[in-house]
Structure 1
């Protein structure tokens, strides 16, 4: 399905999407310094969204995922580098799908959660209070983390320099991130037991899962069939396209046809309705008609 959409809408994909995301943080940080009241109107709040402030569905992406510090700056630079590598590996369109789907999952999860909790806790919390609670936990923090986790799953043997000195394989950082997420959820439930209500724990858990749902789906795909976004698949796809382009540029048969089935010998001149495809498993850029594409013997 992604491939079909890529053929139709791939030209609309935004290049360097990670850079735009980080630029949004800079804008949001500047707004928070210049006009804190205006910054408050940018944050996510499902109560306000359902009462007319629909711009918050988009503008929350501008809010900083955490307080600005030298550590935050270093991490954003790292996420930018990892995002650029993933975009080159997967392609711009598929990286757009990965990152934007994480944002959409977060928004949908937060609004659905708000509606459910408003019904369940209608006698305990006002809808406005629940909207503020959910809005306080909606950020791109775990969206950024999903970039790191995707890189760790795609390039598990790559190394990062801990404290710029100690080389550690990135897959172990991925495991550490996973443990950190579980600790966040555990702490939320521990705090819930102390205050006597689990609403904060539910909000925290659901929003973490929804923010990382794009990575969860990618990881399942990677383990199931090598992943449509895997390095091997991306390399194979690139080589296949190069072979097809070379064949199309150089291949013209004696009768003027540009396509010819390697099995039956028919061309587009014999039947204009025939569809031809190249087989990536056959050597020499073999081309087959629609009747023999899946039934031929690989050569």
Structure 2
């Protein structure tokens, strides 16, 4: 029984069904509240109250440990599209894994983000951006051929968008500062926990398949004719005329034209 199966049996009663819909609903409600709020009141101040800022949590604003997951992905109309995608992908993951596993996948990302926010010395604020990205990567891994219409016009398979995301993460890990690297690692730790074994298995299988194919190719190119004296083959001399010596009765031996009449005959011992 895998660790995921054990978690599912132990925490089934505590799992939140339709978690993606729950989070997307709060994000949508907060987005709508911001749109209705007059700018002079300060829309940014509302968002700032939800962001995870470690120093303010230490000062008593403990609600930030939870509210940052409800932040909408922006203020514009495009945020509605992102919220819809989060709901769509999260619902698909729950349908594929079940409620408990989907809950733990999101929870691991949330806890990792909180841990990084408090461990970083600069106290950099944290949002739920990487949490949504981890859901996106899981969905793309399980449903790589799902087609998404960019701006409702350009169809593209989601695996290519995931590839761009991985390339972006790779660039941050190589060229970014340490806080950015830490948040990237926090965003993919749940992905590696859930899919690392499967990825390694596919890599081993791919290596085995490549070795098998290589052996088949090399076997297919083994020489058909080989001189029993010098080892010459038709690969070495395509125009060479190989013959079998009729006087060598200890087996079937082929010879090139140079050694056909210039070799010691192999005869059976009487």
Is the structural similarity TM-score above 0.5? yes
**Partners of 2:93 and 2:139 within 8 A in 1:** yes
Question: 1:109-148, aligned counterparts within 5 Å?
Answer: 109-113=116-120, 117=121, 130-131=122-123, 134-135=124-125, 138-148=126-136
Q: 2:184 aligns with which of 208, 216, 222?
A: 208
Which digits, 9 at most, give the CA deviation of each residue in 1:227-275, with x for residues without a partner? xxxxxxxxxxxxxxxxxxxxxxxxxxxxxxxxxxxxxxxxxxxxxxxxx
SS in 2 for 1:59: helix
- The verdict on how the C-alpha distance between 1:27 and 1:184 changes in structure 2, with shifts beyond 3 A counting, is farther
CA distance in structure 2 between the aligned counterparts of 1:184 and 1:69, rounded to whole angstroms: 26
SS in 2 for 1:161: strand
CA distance in structure 2 between the aligned counterparts of 1:72 and 1:185, rounded to whole angstroms: 27
The corresponding residue for 2:13 is 11
- The verdict on how the C-alpha distance between 1:55 and 1:219 changes in structure 2, with shifts beyond 3 A counting, is same
SS in 1 for 2:145: coil
The corresponding residue for 2:58 is 50
Q: 1:64 aligns with which of 66, 72, 88?
A: 72
The corresponding residue for 1:2 is 4
Which protein shows a greater Rg?
Answer: 2
Question: 1:178-257, aligned counterparts within 5 Å?
Answer: 178-183=166-171, 189=176, 201-225=177-201
The corresponding residue for 1:93 is 100
Post-superposition offset of 1:55: 2.0
**Partners of 2:130 and 2:184 within 8 A in 1:** yes
TM-score with structure 1 length normalisation?
A: 0.58
* Runs of 4+ with deviation above 6 angstroms: none
The corresponding residue for 1:40 is 48
- The verdict on how the C-alpha distance between 1:48 and 1:162 changes in structure 2, with shifts beyond 3 A counting, is closer
Moved more, 205-214 or 95-104: 205-214
**Partners of 1:101 and 1:214 within 8 A in 2:** yes
Post-superposition offset of 1:183: 4.5
Q: C-alpha root-mean-square deviation of aligned residues, in Å?
A: 2.4
**Partners of 2:130 and 2:187 within 8 A in 1:** yes
CA distance in structure 1 between the aligned counterparts of 2:146 and 2:15, rounded to whole angstroms: 27
- The verdict on how the C-alpha distance between 1:28 and 1:168 changes in structure 2, with shifts beyond 3 A counting, is closer
Post-superposition offset of 1:102: 0.6
Q: How many residues align?
A: 194
| Unaligned runs of at least 5 residues, structure 1 | 118-129, 190-200, 227-299
1:161 aligns to 2:168 (yes or no):
no
**Partners of 1:24 and 1:61 within 8 A in 2:** no
**Partners of 1:156 and 1:171 within 8 A in 2:** yes
Post-superposition offset of 1:157: 2.7
1:29 aligns to 2:31 (yes or no):
yes
**Partners of 2:112 and 2:187 within 8 A in 1:** yes
- The verdict on how the C-alpha distance between 1:31 and 1:76 changes in structure 2, with shifts beyond 3 A counting, is closer
Post-superposition offset of 1:30: 5.1
Post-superposition offset of 1:42: 2.6
